[in-house]
Amino acid sequence: MKTKLLLLLLLATGALQAQSLTIETCYALAAENYPLVKQRELLTKSNEYTLQNLSKGYLPQLIIAGQATYQSEVTQVPISLPGMNIPTLSKDQYKFYGEVNQTLFDGGVIKQQKLTQQSNLEVEQQKLEVELYKIKERVNQLFFGILLVDEQIRQTELLKQDINLGLKKTEAAIANGTAFKSSADVLKAELLNADQRTTELKAGRIAYAEMLGMFINRQLDATVTLEKPKALVVSPEINRPEITLYESQNKTIDAQYKMLTARNLPKLNLFVQGGYGRPALNMLSNDFEAYYIGGVRLNWSLSGLYTLRKDKALLDLNRKTIAVQKETFLFNTNYTLRQQSAELNKYSELLTSDSDIIALRTRVKQTASVQLENGVITSNDYLREVNAEDKARQNKIVHEIQLLMAQYARQTTTGNSL
């Protein structure tokens, strides 16, 4: 994975040096430079610290405690023997001790805590991937927006060539006295309109490039070239990161199930306790004395069994909630895919008729050009046919980019990689 990412970044660097970008490069750079990506390292570090802390549960545990008490009654020996003084315990008693516990068997609690923590990490990481994946939609809009503007600028330049051609013919007709000067003025005015359109398109391109540059953390100038992506045939299978997220959440519930079992198993420890107090282990001595005791301790808390059934029921509800969320996501995604399929079919059909319309409009324009040269029609008539052909070509340009964008939008919706 790291090798693939490094390769993409190297390709991206080379592409940027040549001021040429592919959409794949933009995807990779946007994902690496989005501020939220910093959270990935934080999650990994947090998980590392948590696992280290959990592992310390296997180390001997030291407890230091103390108490001072006063009690209403003490143990007494109810006999009296001649020549023997049986001490009476004081009602104020003191104890200060330290105890070391070493786990022999914890029912698998620490192991399950580690597995649960690892599952939680996968869930949080996958949530991050879901958020980062959404960047692709924004990159698509900006990238194809620039491509559309580029095509419109090129078409506007072709329009200006047609207008200039008509202007030359009109000026020749004016020189021969077969046309009025106002005919040339009409064409010159339209030429200025085309220049204004080019200016507006270039300004829009700069704005798109600046926004794309923000996402990929690169300075993009007006000369940056975007490579037109290849057409796609996208599989309808859904491989979005959300699917992996739902699977990770189910794994977390599996780990929580095992944790319930581990918590309700008996625990076995070795322990050593040493202390100082009055009384110590000899209950017939009223003196402060040191003492120690060691052995094996068995603990089995049965209170967890009271809520075990309900705890499992809650986990089952959580699993069903995840299933509903997944079902809703798939429903909405498939609904979007149906809409996108309809758009793909629409743009494909429009492109088929676009080619026929352009062919017809081009023939009409060519005829109008000859008629203008021979003085049969006015510059207004010629301009009308030129604009009609330009509109037909602009429509095709828009439909081509829209088709391409719809293909990549469908790819983003399904989550299938290139």
Q: Which string of b and e fits 32-41 if b means at least 16 CB within 10 Å?
A: eebeeeebee
What pLDDT, on a 0 to 100 scale, did the predictor assign at position 321? Answer: 96
Its pTM surpasses 0.95: no
What pLDDT, on a 0 to 100 scale, did the predictor assign at position 15? Answer: 42
Show the tokens assigned to 22. Answer: 């592919």
What pLDDT, on a 0 to 100 scale, did the predictor assign at position 358? Answer: 92
Distance CA 297, CA 274 (A): 16
Q: Are 191 and 159 in contact (CB under 8 A)?
A: no
Query: CATH for 22-58+106-265+300-414, among 1.10.287.90, 3.40.630.20, 3.40.50.300, 1.20.1600.10?
Result: 1.20.1600.10
Distances (CA, A) of 6 to 29, 275, 292: 11, 61, 62
Distance CA 143, CA 19 (A): 14
What pLDDT, on a 0 to 100 scale, did the predictor assign at position 418? Answer: 53
Sites in the chain below the pLDDT cut of 70: 1-19, 81, 83, 178, 417-418
Show the tokens assigned to 338. Answer: 């149906």
Distance CA 376, CA 372 (A): 6
Distance CA 258, CA 26 (A): 43
Distance CA 375, CA 20 (A): 47
Q: Are 343 and 292 in contact (CB under 8 A)?
A: no
Q: Which of 241, 192, 213, 187 is nearest to 379 (CA)?
A: 187
How many separate helices (H) and strands (E) can be counted in the chain? 9, 6
Distance CA 121, CA 79 (A): 68
What pLDDT, on a 0 to 100 scale, did the predictor assign at position 313? Answer: 94
Instruction: Mark out the alpha helices in 217-298 (DSSP H runs).
Output: 241-263
What pLDDT, on a 0 to 100 scale, did the predictor assign at position 3? Answer: 42
Q: Which of 319, 302, 239, 230 is nearest to 265 (CA)?
A: 302
Dump pLDDT digits (tens) for 3-59.
444 444 444 444 444 458 899 999 989 888 888 888 888 888 888 888 888 888 888
Q: Which of 243, 369, 262 is nearest to 308 (CA)?
A: 262
What pLDDT, on a 0 to 100 scale, did the predictor assign at position 19? Answer: 59
Beta-strand runs (E) in 52-127: 61-70, 92-105
What pLDDT, on a 0 to 100 scale, did the predictor assign at position 81? Answer: 67
Distance CA 302, CA 114 (A): 23
